[in-house]
Structure 1
Amino acid sequence: MTRILFSAPRSDWEDYRDVLPAAIADAGVEATIEHALDPEDPASVDYVVYAPSSRLKDFTPFTGAKAVLNLWAGVEGIVGNETLTQPLARMVDPGLTEGMVEWCVGHVLRHHLGMDRDILRRDAVWDPVAPPLARDREVTVLGLGELGRAVAEALAALNFRVTGWSRTPKRIPELTCLSGDDGLAEALRRAEILVLLLPLTEGTRDLLDAARLSLLPEGAVIVNPGRGPLIVDDDLLAALDAGRVGHATLDVFRTEPLPEGHPFWAHPRVTVTPHIASATRPRSAARVIAENIRRGEAGEPFLYLVDRARGY
C-alpha cells in the first residue's frame, strides 16, 4: 500500500479530500492519504504532496520518500530548502495553463483596444479612437516555459507580433525567439505590451529595474502575472510617474496580500488584481499528482522535475 502525506493547510485539504483519492484510484494505485503536520513514522511515507504554505519545513525524516510533489507552479519557496534531497516535481496543470492564457490574453486585449479609456469616459464626449490591428502591435513575453509559451502562442494566434525571451535559446513557430542579455534588451525595446511569466530565481529577481524599464517604448504597458519581485517597485512607480510606462496591470507582489498603504493601490496607472491570474484547479491538479505517483510506483521517470541549479 502506497503511503502519501498531504502537507498543506486545511483549506487545501478540504479541496483535495475527495478528488485526490479518486484520481489516484483511477491511476491504478492503491494508497492511503494522511493529512498531518507530524505523521507517524515519516520514514515510511512514499510521497509528500506539498504546498509551500505548509508548516512542514524539515524533510530530513522522510527518508523513504520517492518524491515531493508541489501543489503550486512556483517552487521558489521550497527549492532552496537544504533538507529537501528527494526529487521535487512542480505543478504543471492544464487547468492552470488555460487560466493563465485567458487572464493574459484578456488583459493584453484590454490594453491593446484601449478599453479603459472607453469604459471610464463620463464626459459625454463622442471621441472615437480606433485601435490598431493586432498585427500592428508588438507584444513581448518574458519567459517561454509551459505558461509563457502557451500565452505567447495564443497571442500570436490573434495576429499580435509576438517576441518571446528566454534565458536559453528556443525555437517556437510563429514567434520571434530571443535569449541572453542582448536578446533581453532587444525584447524590451520591442515591447509595446510586456507580459512577465518568468520564474523567480536569483537571476530574475529585480530584473525590471530602472535601466531595463528605460528600454521600453514610451508609454509601454506591463502585465505581470508571474512573480512580484521580478520588478523593482520604486523604479516602476518612477517610470509610471514619468509617463515612460503607460500602465501596469499587476497580479503578483513582493508582499501578499498587497499592504493597504502601498502606492500601487491608489496609482491611477496601476491595476491591482489579487493573485488570480491562474489558480491550481484541484480536480485537474489531482490527476497530475496521481500520474506522477503512478510513474513512481511503476519505475518510470517523473514529470516536471525541478532543476535545482536553475531553481525551476
Structure 2
Amino acid sequence: MALLFKSNIDRADWWRRELNKYIPDLEVRIWPDIGNPDEIEFALCWKMPHGELAKLKNLRAVYSLGAGVDHLLADPDFPRHLPFSRVIDPNLTGRMTEYVVQHVLNHHRFCQTYDAQQRDGVWKEHFAPFASERKVGILGMGALGSGSARALHLLGFDVAGWSKSRKNIEGVESFFGDDQRDAFLARTEILVCLLPLTPETENILNRDLFAKLPKGAAIINAGRGPHLVDEDLIEALDSGHLSGATLDVFRIEPLPADHPFWRHPKIRITPHVASISDPASVAKLVAENIIRTKNGEPLLNAVDPEKGY
C-alpha cells in the first residue's frame, strides 16, 4: 500500500513518521521519487505539478495537504472522479485565528503607522477606538473564517461575516448572497479575506470592491493570492482610500524580488505562513480517510470539485 506525498515545505520525513504511527505498513513515497506509479493508491499533496496525478492508473483517492484545493483543481488533468478531501482541523483553524487576530489588532492599533514613525524618529500619538467601535468583516465563513470571527467577537470587536448562505454564530452579524455583499462592505473597516479560490472569487479584491469600503479601511488577505488584483491594491493605498494591507498569499510564490509590494510602506508581507498543516495533528485525519477509502466509505471533509471546496 503506497501513498505519494508532495509538499512545498521540507517536512516529508516528519509526515512519514506520523502517518506510519497510524498505518505502519503504509509506504510513503516522496515526489518525484515515486517508484512504480502503478503501485500508488493514495496521494497526499500540495501544489502537485499538473498532469502528475493523471499518470497514476491505480490511484484511489486524493487528499489535499491543506484547507485549500484550488492548487489541485487548477490541473486540467486532475482525476475529478476520485474521492477527494481537504484538511479541516482544529489546529489549522487555531493557527489561522491567531494570524487574523494578530493583524486585525495591528491595523486597529495603527502598528504600521508606528513602525514608520519609529524609522523616521517621529513621536506622535494615534488614539484607536474601543474594539466595540471597530467594525471587522470576514469574507468567507467556512471553518477558518468562523473560528476567526468567534475570537474577534470575544475580544469585543463588532464582527460581521459574508458567505454564500446565512451563518448563525453568536455575536457575529451574518451577511449572505450577492445582494448583501455591498452592505457588508460598507460597514467594514478591517476586511479579512478567507474565501476559497473559485472562478467566482478570483480577482474579488479589486478596485470596485475597495471603493465600497469606508475611506481608511484596511485589508488582510490570508485566502489565496489570485483573490487580489495587485495593481488595484496599490492604487487604493496610494490614493489614501485604503490605509494599509497585510498579505500572506500571492499570485506567484515566493513573491518575486522586484514586486512592488516588497517596498510599499503601507503593505506588510508574510510568506504564506498564516496557517500550516501540522503533521502531528493532520496525519490521524489522513489515516482515517485512507481506511475509509479502502472500506468504500465517504471521506471526512470531502470536496465537491464543482463547488471548489
- TM-score (normalised: structure 1): 0.89
Residue 52 of structure 2 is aligned to residue 79 of structure 1 = no
Closer, same or farther in 2 for the Cα pair 1:126/1:205, shift >3 Å?
A: closer
Kindly provide the CA deviation profile for residues 164-196 of structure 1, in whole angstroms up to 9, marking residues without a partner as x.
001233322221111122211111111100000
Q: Is the 1:7–1:56 Cα contact (8 Å) retained in structure 2?
A: no
Kindly provide the CA deviation profile for residues 84-136 of structure 1, in whole angstroms up to 9, marking residues without a partner as x.
13111112232221111101100101111223334554477765443211111
* Counterpart pick for 1:94 among 90, 95, 106: 90
* 1:158 positional shift: 1.0
Of 194-203 and 34-43, more deviation after overlay is shown by 34-43
Residue 254 of structure 2 is aligned to residue 260 of structure 1 = no
Structure 2: any 5+ residue segments left out of the alignment? Answer: none
* Counterpart pick for 2:193 among 196, 203, 206: 196
Instruction: State the superposition RMSD in angstroms.
Output: 2.3
**Residue matched to 1:5:** 4
Residue 285 of structure 2 is aligned to residue 288 of structure 1 = yes
**Residue matched to 2:214:** 217
Give, in whole Å, the separation in 2 of the partners of 1:9 and 1:248. Answer: 25
Give, in whole Å, the separation in 1 of the partners of 2:273 and 2:31. Answer: 28
Residue 107 of structure 2 is aligned to residue 108 of structure 1 = no
Residue 13 of structure 2 is aligned to residue 14 of structure 1 = yes
Structural mapping, 1:236-255, within 5 Å = 236-255=233-252
Partner SS, residue 48 of structure 1: strand
Q: Percent identity?
A: 40
Give, in whole Å, the separation in 2 of the partners of 1:152 and 1:7. Answer: 32
Of 133-142 and 80-89, more deviation after overlay is shown by 80-89
Give, in whole Å, the separation in 2 of the partners of 1:194 and 1:10. Answer: 29
Closer, same or farther in 2 for the Cα pair 1:260/1:62, shift >3 Å?
A: closer
Q: Is the 1:72–1:90 Cα contact (8 Å) retained in structure 2?
A: yes
Partner SS, residue 259 of structure 1: coil
Kindly provide the CA deviation profile for residues 209-249 of structure 1, in whole angstroms up to 9, marking residues without a partner as x.
21111000000010111111111111111110110000011
Residue 49 of structure 2 is aligned to residue 50 of structure 1 = no
Closer, same or farther in 2 for the Cα pair 1:40/1:114, shift >3 Å?
A: closer
Task: Give the aligned residue type for 2:30.
Answer: H
Kindly provide the CA deviation profile for residues 141-175 of structure 1, in whole angstroms up to 9, marking residues without a partner as x.
00011111111111111111111001233322221
Q: Is the 1:37–1:56 Cα contact (8 Å) retained in structure 2?
A: no
Of 166-175 and 276-285, more deviation after overlay is shown by 166-175
Give the count of matched residue pairs: 306
Task: Give the aligned residue type for 1:224.
Answer: N
* 1:8 positional shift: 4.4
* 1:296 positional shift: 2.5
**Residue matched to 1:170:** 167
Task: Give the aligned residue type for 1:3.
Answer: A
Structure 1: any 5+ residue segments left out of the alignment? Answer: none
